[in-house]
Structure formats: C-alpha cells, structure tokens
DNA sequence: GTGAAAGCGCTAACAC
DNA sequence: GTGTTAGCGCTTTCAC
C-alpha cells in the first residue's frame, strides 16, 4: 500500500506538497502538481482515511442504532436516515441491537472511542443514564432523555386518538388492543389515549402486552394466536402493523370476514399494509421526515452553529383502507 | 478528551505501561495496575479507536452493500450479516446504494481508504471491473465476478424449476412472469429455467421486465397495473415477493379469486408472504444461511488461514401456501 | 511555492 | 517490571 511518502519520493517533492495537492489548499505550482498527480496515479495511491481521521479526530460516520432491521419501520428509518446523512456528507453506520443491551452498549462505546461522530438512536433497551452520561452527540428517535438529548418523534397522542375515532365510527363493541412495553418510548403514548377514548364511549377494550424489544416474527404469531384463543367476540383490532396482520390472518383463517366481522386498524402503516388485500387502514408515521429531522438535528449538533431544537414532534396521517368502513374524520 | 498520556501522567507512570494494562499484555505489577486503573476511571478515559486503527491498519468494520434496505430480502440479509459478523468480533457498516452507482462507488472507496477491512456486496450496479481492480477483500452475494472474488448465492436453478413444477401441477395455462434485469446476477438464472420448463409443457408465458435495481414501491405497482391492463386470461404468476403481491392485490381488487382463478408463486418468501392471507406459496431463500456464509467467507479471507471456497451455492425451500393448490413434489 | 518537522493517540520494540 | 522512543499515515505550521 503506497503511502504519501512514496508519492512524495516518486514525484521528487516533500510530503507537505503532496498533501496540499490532495486537499486542494495552499499554493502549488502547476508543474509540481502535474508531477504529483502523475505519481499518484502511477502508484494507485489512495489516502489512508484512518490517518486523516486521527488527525482531524472525526470520521464522518454517524451510528444509527435500531432495535431490528427486520422490522419494516426500522429498516425504512435506517434507509431514510442513511440517505439523509449521505446527502449531508456523512456516512451511516447502521447498527442492529436486536433487543440486546450488550450490543446497544457496545455500539454506544463507539461514540466514546471516536469511531463515530454521533449516534442517532431508535433503540432503547439501556438505562437512560447510559445515554445521559456520554459526552458525544446523541439524537433520540421517540424516546425522551430530558433536555440534554434532542428527541424527534411522531405525534402519537393524535395517532392514538385518530385510531380510536376510526374504531368508534366503525361501531366496534369489543376491541383487541395489542400494546408494547418499553419505558420512556413515546410511541407508547398512543395506548393510553386510545383506551381512554374508547372506554369513555363504553367500548370494551381487551389489552394484550407484548415485549417491545422482541421483534421476532414468531412472537407476533404467538401473541395473535393467544388472543384468538382467549377472547371471542372481538370485532376490532388496534395494534402495530405486524401483530395486527398476524391476528387478522388467523381470524380470516378461522372464517371471519374483514371488515364485516372484524375491523382492523394498524399503527405505522408500512408497505406491507398496502401489499395485503384488502389494504389495511393505518395510522402512518412519516418515516422519511422523521429520518430527515433526526439527521438534520445531528448535523446541527455537530456543527454547533444553529441552536438545536429540543423536542420535535411530527404529525401522523391516516391511510384509509379496506379493513374498516370509510369514515369522515373532519377532513383529515 | 483525556489521552493515554494524561492517564500516564496522573498515575505517575509511562504511557507504555498504561498501554500494557489497556491491552492486557506484558508484565505489570499489581499496584502499578491499580494506580493506572484508578487514573483511568478518574479521568473517564476511553482509548481512541482511531489511533489504534491507524497503528493496526484495520478497523474491525466490514462494509455490507445492499441495493436497498427497504427491500425485505436485503434488510433481512443486512440484519443477519450484521449478527454473524458481530458474533465473530466484527462490526458491520451497512450501506444502501439505492441503485446509484455513485453511491456504490463511494462505499467501495472506503475499502481503498482502509475505513473497512472488507466488503460484502449484494449491490451490483457497477461494472465488474470496479470490483476486480480493488486490492481489498470482497465477498459477493449472488453475483459472479470470476475466480478472484468468492461468491455466495442460492440455487436459483432449482428455484426456477420448483416454481415451474408448482405452476405446472396447478395446471396453469397462461402465466405472468415478472423478471428483473441485472447482468451477472445469479438470481436471474431462475428465469430462463422457469420459462424453458413451462414452454416445454406448452404453457403460455407472458414476460414482463422490470428494472432490477429500482426497488421503489411505486415501480412495483406500476408494473403490476400494466400487467393487469395489458393481458387477460392470466391464471398464474411467478415473480419476486413484492411485484407478485402487487399483482395479486390488484387482481383481487378486480374480483379475481386466489387460488381458484389465479395461482401465485413468489420468489424469496420473506415475512410478508406469511402475513398476507392466504399465505403465499413461495420459493424461499435461506437468508440467514446466506448471511452466515458470506460472513464466514469474509473472515477466512481476512485471516488468510484456511483456503476460501470460490462459489458456494445454498439450496432453496418451498413454502406451500394458499395461493396455489397443494402439490406433492417428490417429498420436497 | 515548497520542504522539514511537529503532532494527532496509540502500540510495540528495546533499553534499563 | 517499566520508561522511552520510534513509528502508523496524514495535515499543518513555519521557515526558507
């Protein structure tokens, strides 16, 4: 592997001059430049980024922590974040924590060790303190860490309300509500709102808890099967895309018709809700906008010029599908 | 940010000794170690990985290039690869190329610049030469680059045959076959086999080409809509998961029944084929095994001890679903 | 305009 | 056992 010294030697100049050519700063005489460029291409020289990074003490890489890439929401988030960062001259290092706090910690260490310039985290198995005590730049997706760490999230309160409204207008009487558990995760705000709304209208809500950081497919099926087994008379479901679809699948298998016998409203509204037939009624998060906002916030944090907004809440949208009857929600 | 020198100073020792404690090699007296550990924790010192990497000339990071994380196959592949690499002490840097050869190139440069120790690529927009001329370690998923670069792929020939067999046994007479285009990508081997098999049995095959590196959802819908519009009398479909599901969705919307009027066989068999109702008959690739094999091959390449197998072909499996009638395929 | 030299933070070889 | 020192490959300051 040729180094800058080899290039300098071959071109018969000093390393400083080569560096100047490489970085396009300082004055370099035209024919010196030519000679150096010659040497560079002859030796097929590429600068060693590690050395540069050491000098600059930055890598241009942002760590993106997600609980599981196999979860459509997070793979989409990872994708969009990568794109947004790339467009700002940064690279993304996407990290799966798959529900393991060790892994999450391990990736968090990369911040301390200067391997990444910042971390955008959508992964929340660790104790809040672990994040708070880092000196590095952190942006959180959907989890509140307090004033020290900027957060970007969806308006889950409205999300829960909208879902409730749809369910109510569809005249469901007994609704299955599959919820996740993860402390401090803003997405869970929808649950309380949804239930309060329904209960206040005398609708029966059956709750089912799922481990939030366990995104393996089997656990969705298990939860759905358990729900089918345990309670009958369910005429509506509200859950995240995947558990809701599992339940719907099993219900249809058991001969129930959607939407006649069963209404389904999912949360997230990822692509699968459109591929299925009928298209699923969903409360959609704006994944791209979330990703762009996280990225932009990170850039601000790094550049330290503009002030960084503390909490940024983005609105959600309804996707009307065939798993509920069409309702008019005040033009939303 | 405290450096090793600060630690040495505070502990009243030399940097060499601190380094020895940090790396656990060489002899260090017990109380010297204590003092140093004390200083480390007091200063909240973490070694700068960049400096270490520069010295060792490696980062422990493997680049994983995928065309699009928003494609279920590739997000699953990325996930499993990350896990497999992590288990071998490496970190993955997952890179979306989203069909842009500039991006692919940009990530490839990271190899030259020593930012990654190797690259596993499932992304193939660049000219073969771009890969061949790199000096770094490369493992290819599903694209043949010749003897220089080890490849891991599925047995797409069998895959195509199996799909054809299912379609034949389901007595389809006019089959829509949506194909992708990408030179050298082994996955496309299934197409020729599938068509040959069907044609030789007098089944009509309608071909539709799609841009392979364009994985945006809309293009699937467009292709499906076009197929619906252009040809009637289709009683079978064979395509990758997503285009097939789009077609099926639109066909059902138009009142066609699955599997009575239309049989559907998809390729890949990702999670969405199980969430949909009915479950979709698919030829499944073993994503995890593909990922593990790629990772293992990369590790061998890096460690340079064992010989590296050149082409590794993994077998595919049938997932019997409700979009075809059950058929017996010699116990497969 | 250009070369020499210092230093980014670390590791390892070599004295003592 | 431990300190000192010479790099790893680069950038940048400062003479010339």
Mind giving me the DSSP string for A204-270?
A: EEEEEEEETT---HHHHHHHHHHHHHH-----EEEEEHHHHHHHHHHHHHTT--TTTT-EEEEEE--
How much is the pTM?
0.95
* Tokens encoding A312: 């940024």
- Using an 8 Å Cβ cutoff, are A247 and A178 in contact? yes
Dihedral of alpha carbons A125, A128, A133, A139, sign: positive
pLDDT at B212: 62
* Residue A22 CA, nucleotide C5 C1', distance (Å): 20
* Tokens encoding B6: 């600060």
Contacts of B171 (CB under 8 A, 6+ apart): none
CA gap A154, A288 in Å, rounded: 12
Nucleic strand C under 7 Å from the C-beta of B28? no
Nucleic strand C under 7 Å from the C-beta of A25? no
Nucleic strand C under 7 Å from the C-beta of B315? no
Cα A23 versus chain centre, distance: 35
**Mean local confidence (pLDDT), B167-180:** 96
- Chain A 46-75 contacts with nucleic strand D (CB below 7 A): 47-48, 50-52, 54-56
Q: Over 90: is that where the pLDDT of B181 sits?
A: no
Q: Write out pLDDT tens, residues B279-289.
A: 999 999 999 99
- Which residues of chain A fall short of a pLDDT of 70? 181, 183, 212-214, 330-332
CA gap B71, A253 in Å, rounded: 27
Would you call A49 and B274 a contact, using CB atoms and an 8 Å cutoff? no
Between A15-23 and A4-11, two packed helices, what is the crossing angle to 10 degrees? 110
Average pLDDT, rounded, for chain B: 94
Would you call B82 and A69 a contact, using CB atoms and an 8 Å cutoff? yes
User: Which one, of A281, A213, A181, lies nearest residue A241 by Cα?
Assistant: A281
Q: Over 60: is that where the pLDDT of B21 sits?
A: yes
**Mean local confidence (pLDDT), B91-100:** 90
Nucleic strand D under 7 Å from the C-beta of A23? yes
Q: Write out pLDDT tens, residues A222-271.
A: 999 999 999 899 999 999 999 999 999 999 999 999 999 999 999 999 99
How many other β-carbons are positioned within 10 Å of the β-carbon of residue A109? 14
CA gap B267, A204 in Å, rounded: 42
- Using an 8 Å Cβ cutoff, are A248 and A263 in contact? no
Confirm or reject contact between A85 and chain B (CB < 8 A).
no
- From the list A103, A115, A253, the residue facing B49 with the nearest CB is A115
Confirm or reject contact between B61 and chain A (CB < 8 A).
yes
Contacts of A27 (CB under 8 A, 6+ apart): A20
Confirm or reject contact between B148 and chain A (CB < 8 A).
no
Residue length of chain A: 332
Q: Which nucleotides of C are covered by protein (CB under 7 A)?
A: 1-14
Nucleic strand D under 7 Å from the C-beta of B20? yes
A200: closest CA of chain B, how far (Å): 33
Contacts of B220 (CB under 8 A, 6+ apart): B210, B242, B243, B246
Point out the nucleotide closest to A54 (alpha carbon to C1′).
Answer: C8
Contacts of A280 (CB under 8 A, 6+ apart): A241, A244, A245, A248, A264, A265, A266, A269, A273, A274, A319, A321, A322, A323
Confirm or reject contact between A95 and chain B (CB < 8 A).
yes
Q: What is the three-class DSSP state of A56?
A: helix
pLDDT at B137: 97
């Amino acid at each position: 592997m040729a180094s800058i010294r080899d290039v300098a030697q071959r071109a018969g100049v000093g390393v400083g001059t080569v560096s100047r050519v490489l970085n396009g700063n300082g004055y370099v005489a035209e024919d010196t430049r030519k000679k150096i460029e010659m040497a560079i291409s002859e030796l097929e020289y590429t600068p060693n980024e590690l050395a540069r990074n050491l000098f600059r003490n930055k890598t241009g890489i942002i760590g993106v922590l997600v609980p599981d890439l196999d979860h459509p929401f997070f793979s989409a988030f990872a994708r969009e974040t990568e794109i947004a960062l790339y467009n700002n001259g940064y690279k993304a290092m996407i990290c799966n924590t798959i529900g393991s706090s060790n892994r999450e910690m391990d990736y968090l260490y990369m911040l301390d060790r200067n391997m990444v310039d910042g971390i955008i985290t959508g992964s929340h198995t660790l104790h809040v303190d672990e994040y708070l005590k880092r000196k590095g730049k952190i942006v959180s997706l959907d989890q509140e860490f307090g004033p020290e760490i900027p957060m970007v999230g969806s308006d889950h309160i409205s999300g829960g309300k909208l879902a409730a409204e749809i369910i109510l207008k569809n005249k469901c009487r007994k609704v299955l509500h599959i919820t996740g558990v993860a402390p401090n995760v803003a997405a869970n705000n929808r649950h309380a709102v949804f239930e309060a709304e329904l209960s206040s209208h005398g609708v029966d809500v059956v709750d089912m808890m799922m481990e939030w950081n366990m995104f393996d497919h089997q656990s969705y099926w298990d939860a759905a099967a358990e729900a089918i087994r345990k309670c009958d008379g369910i005429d509506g479901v509200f859950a995240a895309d995947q558990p809701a679809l599992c339940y719907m699948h099993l219900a249809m298998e058991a001969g129930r018709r959607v939407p006649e016998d069963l209404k389904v409203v999912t949360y997230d509204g990822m692509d699968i809700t459109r591929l299925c037939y009928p298209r699923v009624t969903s409360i959609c998060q704006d994944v791209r906008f979330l990703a762009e906002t996280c990225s932009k916030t990170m850039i601000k944090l790094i550049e330290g010029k503009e002030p960084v907004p503390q909490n940024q809440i983005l609105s959600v949208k309804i996707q009307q599908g065939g798993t509920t009857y069409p309702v008019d929600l005040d033009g939303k």
